Structure 1
């Protein structure tokens, strides 16, 4: 069993998605102490079922001192405001407090794309993170400072639909890879023009579906970035 070290806190980093839940323990430098585990998100994805899943997984991870959680929705001071791809019961839940009581550890919760961005960005200029998964997550940074809860996936994109409606995993399955790629390419060009980004980072499971050549200002980041950002979550003001 891992021993807790208050001078070098070990962080249980959790990434909750519409289709999967990932978890691992990291040291203060963001280096993995345990193997990354992934399980399917329970259905229906109610707070009760998700928290029970988190507790079961955490028990197998050994000791940790604090918890970072990436959540697929708007989070304000630990309270989950939206959860489009989970369940309505998440609305207005003080998730940080609930999980802290469950684990007996301090907990910080933030939007999952925001945390992925914390693990990916350089900290220079305007940087956008776009996560391609069950839904579409977005995070925006200016010189390393987070603009929280952008939720750009739910902003209007084209033909009266949002970025998420045009580019979600369900849409990919429905329209096929070729058409989805054309839409994604248009979305990236639009976001570049609207936000004048210096860098765009693509994350999420559907990055493996990208078939067109990306310009040099766009970088694909690995899924583990969404967990590694859990260390930096403790370094910013929420």
Structure 2
């Protein structure tokens, strides 16, 4: 946990997902939490109004953290407006979340795609820190999230989990959820991941792949079985990446 001596370097990050909402103060310089993480279940009716109340309560618990707030959402975000976001309430779709949350919380709020936030965090303070060139961060979980960065600059909303490979949508064939649901061995799963990463490799010629998501903690069980030319490493921030990335993007 970072120190909170210089509050100008502390921002609040919120990771808003389909099942849980997590928030923490983040020391931007250290790239880590400056407070205990708060987690609440996402309400069944996760309307903007219901979620705003949860955000307000989190911020009320941290009066020492002022300034802009960063929020991740599990969906496309263009200039603060949420697009396709199937795991949260339909009222968010085509909704100007930046404007609504900024007015509702009385401070500037910037909303970002969850995979983009995680990717930016890994590039800024995680596994890809100090790496130049093209970095692709992929989060393996229920689906496959992705974030593309070039020399540390984010290219938003790159949805590489939706790539169609041999007539199959990648994330419906090679995600962690599929690995568990089909009872695949790590060897069998790695063969599918090899096909996926080789496809992405051909399209983007990245300098580095970073593998995030909860399964990154088990990377040693399958990472060496992924047969590609590009260097591939596990994420280091794991479940902190969304919150840290949101806080880093709060001022943008």
- Range into which the TM-score falls when normalised by the shorter chain: 0.7 to 0.9
Structure 2 counterparts to residues 27-46 of structure 1, below 5 A: 27-29=27-29, 30-46=31-47
Cα distance in 2 for partners of 1:7, 1:224 equals: 20
* Cα drift, residue 174 of structure 1: 2.3
- Please say if 1:8 is aligned against 2:8: yes
Give the one of 77, 85, 93 matched to 1:91: 93
User: Does structure 2 retain, via aligned residues, the 8 Å contact 1:16–1:22?
Assistant: yes
Q: Is the 8 A contact 1:72 1:83 kept in 2?
A: yes
In the alignment, structure 1 segments of 5+ residues that lack a partner are none
Taking the TM superposition and a 5 Å limit, the aligned residue runs for 1:1-238 are: 8=8, 10-29=10-29, 30-64=31-65, 65-121=67-123, 122-158=130-166, 160-168=167-175, 170-178=177-185, 179-208=188-217, 210=219, 211-214=221-224, 217-221=231-235, 222-234=238-250
TM-score of the pair, normalised by structure 1: 0.84
The alignment yields a C-alpha RMSD, in angstroms, of: 2.7
Q: Secondary structure at the match of 1:83?
A: coil
For 1:168 and 1:43, locate their aligned partners in 2 and report how far apart those are by CA, in whole Å: 25
Question: What is the aligned residue count?
Answer: 232
| Greater relative contact order, per chain length (Cα 8 Å cut-off, separation 6+) | 2
TM-score, length basis structure 2: 0.80
Distance 1:234 1:123 in 2: 23
The alignment partner of 1:13 has SS state of strand
Which residues of structure 2 form unaligned runs of 5+? 124-129
Kindly indicate whether the alpha-carbon contact (under 8 Å) linking 1:177 and 1:209 is maintained by their aligned counterparts in 2.
Answer: no
> Is the contact made by 2:70 and 2:248 (CA closer than 8 Å) also made in structure 1?
no
Counterpart contact for 2:208–2:231, Cα < 8 Å: yes
